[in-house]
Amino acid sequence: MRHTELYRQQHATIAELIQKLEQSLDVAKLQQSTMQVWHILAELSGQIVVHLSGEDRWLYPELRSCGDPQAQAVARAFSEEMGHIAGTFKAYTERWLMPSAIASEPQAFIEQTREIAQTLQQRMRREHIELYALADKLHAVAKSA
């Protein structure tokens, strides 16, 4: 089992929720199923909060303290970048906190959801390729030492 398996599983859940949201990005669909879409958004928000908390509490500190300068730099860069993305996501969820906000401005919700979905998907892809691969490699080396 990879050291970052839990984070990868969380990404799979987040990606599934993003896909559900994206399937609802049509004005007519939003007007018919505002509450369902809002529930998906609430679940997505909760999943992201849990995921980020885990990375902040365990993954980044582990990489910062491992003694490898490359790992420390990667952890610092990813953490800083995520702070910006987290702020953007927080503003997005606060804007659409109430189902009535989605129902009253469906086109704005669609546009912002597409933007945030793309940002999150790109970030998760980079984490798999750069961050998690590095963490798994370092963990395997430390385990075999």
Residues in the chain: 145
CATH class of 5-139: mainly alpha
Say if residue 30's pLDDT is above 90.
yes
User: What does the alpha-carbon distance between residue 96 and residue 8 come to, in Å, rounded to a whole number?
Assistant: 27
Say if residue 69's pLDDT is above 90.
yes
**Residue 60 near residue 73, CB atoms below 8 Å:** no
Q: What pLDDT sits at residue 2?
A: 84
- For 122-132, write each residue's pLDDT tens digit: 999 999 999 99
Say if residue 110's pLDDT is above 80.
yes
Read off the pLDDT band of 51 (50, 70, 90): very high
Mean model confidence pLDDT for the chain: 95
Q: What is the pTM of this model?
A: 0.94
Of all residues in the chain, the percent with pLDDT exceeding 90 is 92
Helices of type H across the chain: 5-23, 27-32, 34-54, 60-64, 69-95, 99-104, 106-126, 133-144
Q: CA triplet 39, 42, 43: central angle to 5 degrees?
A: 85
Say if residue 144's pLDDT is above 90.
no
- For 78-99, write each residue's pLDDT tens digit: 999 999 999 999 999 999 999 9
Mean pLDDT for 110-137 is: 97
Q: What pLDDT sits at residue 68?
A: 93
User: What does the alpha-carbon distance between residue 93 and residue 87 come to, in Å, rounded to a whole number?
Assistant: 10
Nearest residue to 23 (alpha-carbon basis) of 86, 108, 113, 107: 113
Say if residue 57's pLDDT is above 80.
yes
Nearest residue to 17 (alpha-carbon basis) of 41, 52, 51: 41
Say if residue 1's pLDDT is above 80.
no
